[in-house]
């Protein structure tokens, strides 16, 4: 079983709609969680950290469920520019701060 699992998608989303997807992690010692965004043939860029209480950044909302070991990302009012691959990332400090990446969820926003 992969340490961090994501639905690869693609999620085809009409412009203006809401899309949400999850990521599950297997190591209960995971301590920090992030969403990165990766555009085609580009490097990953930090989108947002995920806090226990949940957090929002504009149209993006991230949630963490430690009991069920998953995090989620919700995008409201999708824009064409939101089309990208969203990488779920987990940090286990005891494992030396190596970020473990999921395989990514591809989102395609269409007009």
Partner 1 sequence: GAGVSQSPSNKVTEKGKDVELRCDPISGHTALYWYRQSLGQGLEFLIYFQGNSAPDKSGLPSDRFSAERTGGSVSTLTIQRTQQEDSAVYLCASSPGTSGPGRFFGPGTRLTVL
Rule CB under 8 A: which residues touch partner 1? 4, 32, 34, 42-46, 49, 87, 89, 91, 93, 96-104
Residues for the chain: how many in total? Answer: 111
Closer residue to partner 1, CB minimum distance, 53 or 111: 53
In the numeric block, which tokens belong to residue 42? 């580009």
In the numeric block, which tokens belong to residue 1? 């079983």
Closer residue to partner 1, CB minimum distance, 72 or 103: 103
Smallest separation (angstroms) from partner 1 to the CB of 98: 5
The span from the CA of 93 to the CA of 87, in Å, is 19
Closer residue to partner 1, CB minimum distance, 72 or 91: 91
Specify the residue for token string 């079983």.
1
């Amino acid at each position: 079983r992969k340490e961090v699992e994501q639905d690869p998608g693609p999620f085809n989303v009409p412009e203006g709609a809401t899309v949400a997807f999850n990521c599950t992690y297997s190591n209960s010692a995971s301590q920090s969680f992030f969403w990165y965004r990766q555009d085609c043939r580009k490097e990953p860029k930090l989108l947002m950290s995920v806090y226990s209480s949940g957090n929002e950044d504009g149209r993006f909302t991230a949630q963490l469920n430690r009991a069920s070991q998953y995090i989620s990302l919700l995008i409201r009012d999708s824009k064409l520019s939101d089309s990208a691959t969203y990488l779920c990332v987990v940090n286990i400090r005891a494992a030396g701060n190596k970020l473990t990446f999921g395989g990514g969820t591809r989102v395609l926003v269409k007009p």
